[in-house]
Chains A and B, each alone.
With several copies, the nearest count.
Chain A
Amino acid sequence: MTERTLAKAINEGLRKSMEDNPKVLLLGEDIGKLGGVFRVTDGLQKDFGELRVIDSPLGEAGIVGASVGLAMRGYRPISEIQFDGFVYPAFDQLVSQVAKQHARSEGAITMTLVVRIPFGGGIGAVEHHSESPEAYFAHTAGLRVVSPSTPNDGYWMIRQAIECADPVIFLEPKCRYWEKGEVDETAPPSSLFSAAVRRTGTDATLVSYGPSVKTCLAAATAAEGEGRSLEVIDLRSISPLDVATVVASVEKTGRLIVAHEAPVFGGIGAEIAARLTERCFYSLSAPPLRVGGYHTPYPPSRVEEDYLPNVDRLLDALDRAFEF
């Protein structure tokens, strides 16, 4: 057990996968000498060479498109999109090729690749550097979408994503890159696509993933002071969803609040709310409520605190859930 930052944990997970499997290649902008703008690939080019850690031309369609070809040739390309807001030029490659090749080829081709994307806000960045595009990917059948919230998950989930035969969109909560936690290198905490109950409680369930998990835990602590016991679930996988874990919790608590940074309207919170309502209709004491970004472009970061789900907004939703 060693304490590491999330960024470093992912770096070590990448390193381990590269050591284990020579077919693993990294590609992306500035991932070589610079080690990526967040240093997640720091040192990897030095140790694995320019043939396995490839500074790519500046073009995301190219990065993902070349990954598709490399995967077809039997490689396991792990690409980095420098920031969330720069993944959109690759959208056609993701939707039309990455997500569909396996089905199109009646199973002959596997799109064994990972697209790493630092995502989310809260770092005081300029425009296009704080986006949460997960709903776009989750709605796209053929993709898998995961997000670690702790260093231990960062280390293991990247390794599991690389091992997964299907394409994985790997969303790294950039505002948590520098937070530290224990990494247990002996065994993975669980399968890549299962949710984790981060805190048990009885009165309401908070569901989240990536950057907002910590916010939910803080809200649970605050609520405890008000005499409310909250269960906090870290989805870890956004697609597929580990619905069973959430259902079990909601059947117990009767109240559900989903939090994410992406705009609420059409966000993945809607899917969770709708699905849980269907599954837990008679257990619900209140409708599932959602806390997340507003229906606005990500705002100037001086005002991002008021845009993101924060403890106050979560507690407010909790109050509303208890008013039903």
Chain B
Amino acid sequence: MVRAGRGTREDAPDAQVDFVQLLSPTGERVEHKDYALEISADEAKGLYRDMVHVRRVDVEATSLQRQGQLALWAPLRGQEAAQIGAGRALEPDDFSFPGYREHGIAWCRGISPAQSARSFRQVTNGGWDPYEFNHAEPSIVIGNNAINAVGYAMGVQHDGAESAVMVCIGDGAMSQGDIAESFVWAAVFQAPVVFLLQNNHWAISEPTERQSRIPLYKRADGFGFPGVRVDGNDVFAMLAVTRAALARAREGSGPTLIEAFTYRMGAHTTSDDPTRYRILAEVEEWERKDPIDRLRTYLLATKAADQAWVESIDAEADVAARELRDAVLSMFGPSPISIFDHVYQEPHPLVDEERAEMVALIGAEEAGSLK
């Protein structure tokens, strides 16, 4: 019965067919017929800086979790190029819908690492004001915000606004019915939405073959919109392809599925133990395609940057990590009473009654003090 998991040779990481790459694993610029990218040294350095920052902050958050300061953390290591490339393609007016691992995209939207950490410290189930950053709260229920994103995009379309929507999904999410419905709706209404699929090869312990026998980007074809597979460890390719897809959406040509072919270098979350289900050799193979290494090689080789600059970025990132740590340690939970604050926007007698019950029970002071 379980015949899956054997095949899908096309999925082998070195297959270059239909695979957009602009910067090779060894740091050389490559051209692609459909995706040109003019990028200045400063822009490239900016991308490098972003990636180093989010990686450093990710390490810090992981260690904060180990020290009991966060309830959980979902590390992004390995996916920096996918997230920074896509995140930097967004315009301020665009609206994005993340999953729980999209700290890199949040970073691009201007959300601080500390804000990203709030839900992992469980002082909130949110983290920031979505309208301030045009970035929704993550959805933890796999796949169910994709159709929300399409609805939002239909609203953008209805407004006649020239902006686009991006929603992040994973290789595992591709099996959820809600994703398929979002594809149907996006196609039928030609909604200005980009589906950013980070195929990081694992859905917790399950390899991509458990979700599909064929490459995932091909899924879009059957719904009537383009799918494209990109080297997800190549920040240039991610930037170029996402920009093109967003532009396409903005001009009314409908949705695109971008499959960022990448790898989750770390555990699924800090609760996970990947040694139970995957071999070290696989991880090592992907180390050699590291997104940050390759951009650094490129920057040094093209003399866009020198070693001193690289070190300065590391130092900057250390500062960001320290800032995150300080912020997390001084982050308090909501007061017990605040759980009643935003159940509804309008008055609600039962909520009022239960709020009063709590106060009667534990006293106004305790009810009102931060946890």
User: Direct A–B touching in the complex (beta carbon < 8 Å)?
Assistant: yes
* Contact, CB under 8 Å: B344 / A166: yes
Distance in Å: Cβ of B20 to nearest Cβ of chain A:
26
Which residues of chain B are within 8 angstroms of A104 by Cβ–Cβ distance?
Answer: 124-126, 137
Choose the segment among B49-57, B149-157, B224-232 that binds chain A (4+ C-beta atoms closer than 8 Å).
B149-157
* Contact, CB under 8 Å: B2 / A51: yes
Distance in Å: Cβ of A110 to nearest Cβ of chain B:
5
B17 at the interface (CB under 8 A from A): no
Chain A proximity mask over B274-308: 1 for CB below 8 Å, otherwise 0? 00110000000000000000000000000000000
B340 at the interface (CB under 8 A from A): yes
CA gap between A74 and B151 in the complex, in Å: 11
Distance in Å: Cβ of A3 to nearest Cβ of chain B:
25
A-B contact count (CB 8 A): 266
Distance in Å: Cβ of B26 to nearest Cβ of chain A:
33
Considering only residues 45-100 of chain A, those with a C-beta below 8 Å from chain B are 50-51, 54-59, 61-62, 65-75, 77, 85-86, 88-89, 92-93, 96-97, 100
A281 at the interface (CB under 8 A from B): no
Which residues of chain A are within 8 angstroms of B131 by Cβ–Cβ distance?
Answer: 108-109
Q: With A54-B2, A96-B141 as given contacts, are A294 and B151 in contact (CB-CB < 8 Å)?
A: no
* Contact, CB under 8 Å: A300 / B175: no
A313 at the interface (CB under 8 A from B): yes
Q: Majority SS of interface residues in chain A?
A: loop
Which residues of chain B are within 8 angstroms of A224 by Cβ–Cβ distance?
Answer: none
Range for the number of chain A residues in contact with chain B: 35 or more
Chain B proximity mask over A156-171: 1 for CB below 8 Å, otherwise 0? 0000000011100000
B122 at the interface (CB under 8 A from A): yes
Q: With A265-B350, A294-B340 as given contacts, are A66 and B129 in contact (CB-CB < 8 Å)?
A: no
Q: With A65-B151, A69-B150 as given contacts, are A128 and B141 in contact (CB-CB < 8 Å)?
A: yes
A301 at the interface (CB under 8 A from B): yes
Which of A29, A33, A68, A243 has a CB less than 8 Å from the CB of B277?
A33
A106 at the interface (CB under 8 A from B): yes
A299 at the interface (CB under 8 A from B): yes
Range for the number of chain B residues in contact with chain A: 35 or more
* Contact, CB under 8 Å: A34 / B205: yes
* Contact, CB under 8 Å: B345 / A58: no
* Contact, CB under 8 Å: A58 / B176: yes
Most buried by A among B147, B173, B178: B147
Most buried by B among A30, A71, A107, A110: A30
Which of B130, B333, B338, B344 has a CB less than 8 Å from the CB of A72?
B130
Which residues of chain A are within 8 angstroms of B205 by Cβ–Cβ distance?
Answer: 30, 32-34, 55
CB<8 Å pairs between A and B, sample of 12: A33-B277, A51-B2, A55-B205, A62-B182, A65-B146, A66-B154, A69-B152, A73-B158, A92-B144, A142-B343, A302-B123, A306-B358
Residues of A within 8 A of B (CB): 25, 29-30, 32-35, 37, 50-51, 54-59, 61-62, 65-75, 77, 85-86, 88-89, 92-93, 96-97, 100-110, 124-129, 141-142, 144, 164-166, 193, 239-243, 265, 294-297, 299-303, 306-307, 312-313, 316
Given A58-B174, A77-B151, 7 more pairs with CB closer than 8 A: A61-B177, A74-B155, A75-B155, A102-B343, A128-B140, A306-B336, A316-B361
